[in-house]
Amino acid sequence: MRILYICQRVPYPPNRGDKIASYNAIRFLAERHEVIVACLASSQEDLRHAEELRAQGFRVEAEALGAARQKWSAIRALVSGEPLSVAYFRSKGLARRIERCVRETPVDIVITFSSSMGQYARLAGDVPLIADFVDLDSRKWDLYCRFHRLPRRAVYRLEERRLLAYERELAMRAHCTLLRTEAEKSDCERLIPGARVEVLSNGVDLEYFRATPGQVDARSRADIVFTGVMDYFPNVQGVTFFAREVLPLVRLRHPDATFTIVGASPTREVERLAALSGVEVTGRQSDIRPFLARARVAAVPLLLARGIQNKVLEAMAMSLPVVLTPAAFRGVDAEEGTDGVFVAERPGEFANRVSALLDDAPSARAAGERARRRVEERYVWDAQLGLLERLAEEACARGLATEPCAVEARGDGSSVSE
């Protein structure tokens, strides 16, 4: 098969959730098929990463789209009536690249990564489409409404309705829609009856995320660690909750306990947390493994979460026990307690779970070993991605033609509502 894979960002390096998933899908499919990658680049650094991906043998059509232009497009969408999420990722240049690419090299199937990139699918012609939603993003905006006041709440509610209508049309014309968890699948089937929905789980690089014996022995400090992109609202909200409400309770029992926040682009709110006793904010790190290796506990205190949290799988792969909220646990296929993950919600409960692991280093180490075994059993990338290949081959064999999506990008930069 010749596959056109369209994604929001240059899928390299695989250092954040969406890039990890898209890069591994491309890598897996390219072992037996020809894959053309079409994506957006937000910076010159991204364009350099696209060159690195080309050096691996992929054809990459990357188009620069600055943040200011994206924000302006989203603002205009408030008036035009289309979803902000779709307008935010619209690019005349990328549309032209896709049209030229498929004119020169016709493709057999299109895979779009995230619902917002479905707007480009029809530019490839009447070929089958697999719409990898990852998460049902309209539900994310519904959750955002619960944590914000007016006027933001009104904007988020409007986006939820518009995006759900768009997701419905995209899912109904796709051969299959993919989501990451059974819970997301249930939501999709309830809200978009008649669409074919399958669960394509995430994986974790078990060779890269592996604690060495020397790293394990180095865990002498009572460190708690959190990893993630730190300008993402759920991450900001979660670490603020932990640093201000949970960590002081932990430090009553463990005065030397530290909370290390590891991740790029910390907001001013996150940077201010570094003034609290025991809190360290590292900023961008090229390698998060040393921070996971020196910690005794990974905390994932997300109050708002959907799908699978890669930060949970990576910590488990590093043989680290994880204390997490019910929202973060919802997408993890593991048995609470037995598989080295411990669920807590209220500040006191969260502090008790973390403190119990800090109290007993051997028990914490054993819990981490169980966590590692669980990801080895359940979250191997290639085992998950076999489903994606089978669905693509099935769609091509049926020769499905699709109907246009409600909002569709064109090479001249315009859009059309069917």
Statement: residue 394 has pLDDT above 60? yes
For residues 158 and 412, give the distance between their C-alpha atoms in angstroms, rounded to a whole number: 27
Strands 297-300 and 223-227: what pairing? parallel
**So what's the pLDDT on residue 328?**
96
Statement: residue 400 has pLDDT above 60? no
Q: Domain 2-203+380-417: give its CATH code.
A: 3.40.50.2000
Q: What is the mean pLDDT of the chain?
A: 92
Domain pair 2-203+380-417 / 213-378, same fold: yes
What does the pLDDT average to over 309-320?
A: 96
What does the pLDDT average to over 136-147?
A: 92
Q: Is the peptide bond before 248 cis (omega within 30 degrees of 0)?
A: no
For residues 214 and 216, give the distance between their C-alpha atoms in angstroms, rounded to a whole number: 5
Statement: residue 42 has pLDDT above 50? yes
For residue 305, what are its two tokens? Answer: 């979460």
Statement: residue 157 has pLDDT above 90? yes
Statement: residue 193 has pLDDT above 90? yes
The DSSP-derived string for 288-345 is -HHHHHH-SEEEE--SS--S--HHHHHHHHTT--EEE-HHHHTT--S-TTTTSEEE--
372, 319 Cβ separation under 8 angstroms: yes
For residue 405, what are its two tokens? Answer: 């999506």
What does the pLDDT average to over 307-322?
A: 96
| Tens digits of residue pLDDT in 361-383 | 999 999 999 999 999 999 999 99
Q: Where are the domains of the chain?
A: 2-203+380-417, 213-378
For residues 192 and 325, give the distance between their C-alpha atoms in angstroms, rounded to a whole number: 28
**So what's the pLDDT on residue 221?**
58
| Tens digits of residue pLDDT in 208-262 | 999 876 554 444 455 999 999 999 999 999 999 999 999 999 999 999 999 999 9
Among the listed residues 71, 53, 70, 72, the one whose alpha carbon sits nearest the alpha carbon of residue 62: 53
**So what's the pLDDT on residue 402?**
44
Statement: residue 121 has pLDDT above 70? yes
For residues 399 and 46, give the distance between their C-alpha atoms in angstroms, rounded to a whole number: 35
What does the pLDDT average to over 63-76?
A: 90
Q: Which fold has domain 213-378?
A: Rossmann fold (3.40.50)
Element (H, E) at 96: helix 92-104
123, 142 Cβ separation under 8 angstroms: no
The DSSP-derived string for 160-226 is HHHHHHHHHHHHHHSSEEEESSHHHHHHHHHHSTT--EEE------TTTS---HHHHHT--S-EEEE
Statement: residue 410 has pLDDT above 70? no
122, 408 Cβ separation under 8 angstroms: yes
**What percent of the chain is predicted at pLDDT more than 90?**
86
